[in-house]
Structure 1
Amino acid sequence: MTMEKRTQHELDEETLFVVSQTFKALSDPTRIRILNMLCCEEHSVNDIAEKLDLNQSAVSHQLRFLKNLRLVKFRREGTTLYYTSADEHVINLLHQAIDHAHH
């Protein structure tokens, strides 16, 4: 299907909301950095905070936002939560945007 044909379709309210929330998630530099980290392997909150030089509270806040949008998922090991990306489509969008920025 060509891009022209795709844009001719009307979008329902739910689709508009999901798309806008996805772009909202990708509009924040901290969330971009977190998603970029989580696209290849899982990390704990502390690991993300340390590697991105952020405080744990800020990372937890951003992960909660991403989890609510189902863009990340987690598993528990003891008292530690390990996060990873949960939506390959969004990761592909992120990587396309990064590639575009490099051109």
Structure 2
Amino acid sequence: MNKHKEKQGLDLLQSSDAPTCDTHVVHLDNVRSTQAEILATDKAQQMAEIFGVLADTNRLRLLSALASQELCVCDLAVLTKMSESAVCHQLRLLKVMRLVSYRREGRNVYYSLADSHIINLYRSLLEHLDESNV
């Protein structure tokens, strides 16, 4: 998202002109049918932590590199123009959140996205952004 659109989105969130209901009526059928679907607080907290880790440009760039293939730290550092130390730090955070996995081969460590869910999340968001920018 470009800076102008991002600012517009933030302005709308902060504005008192955000749409609201004209009348305050609780639609019990809607509430009952949705009640079982709403996230439990602990699950919402876990998701917020993952999204918090993903809310970093460098970590997202690392995920984008890993979306196509397994890569070692050296390759990731070159691709992202980051130091190997910085890449390791970011990968450590991604590993703690179980977003990436790794394997050792001799003295090298190769990273990949943890599973198809992470790949799908990344690709879905990328597709969403591509559709929004059309």
TM over 0.5: yes
User: In structure 1, what is the equivalent of residue 11 of structure 2?
Assistant: none
Match of 2:50 in 1: 22
Q: Whose radius of gyration is greater, 1 or 2? A: 2
Deviation readout 1:25-64 (Å, 9 max, x if unpaired): 2211111111111122111111100111111111001100
Percent sequence identity is 37
- Matches of 1:41 and 1:25, distance apart in 2: 21
**1:48 corresponds to which letter in structure 2?**
L
The residue identity in structure 2 corresponding to 1:58 is A
Q: Are residue 45 (structure 1) and residue 70 (structure 2) matched?
A: no
Q: Is there any run of 5+ residues in structure 2 with no aligned partner, and where?
A: 1-32
TM-score w.r.t. length of structure 2: 0.66
User: Which structure would you say has the larger RCO, counting Cα contacts within 8 Å and 6 or more residues apart?
Assistant: 1
> Normalized against structure 1, the TM-score is what?
0.84
Q: Does 1:68 align with 2:87?
A: no
Which stretches of structure 1, 4 residues or more, deviate above 2 A after TM superposition?
Answer: 5-14
The root-mean-square deviation of aligned C-alpha atoms, in Å, is 1.8
Equivalences, count = 99
Q: Letter of the aligned partner of 1:81 in structure 2?
A: V
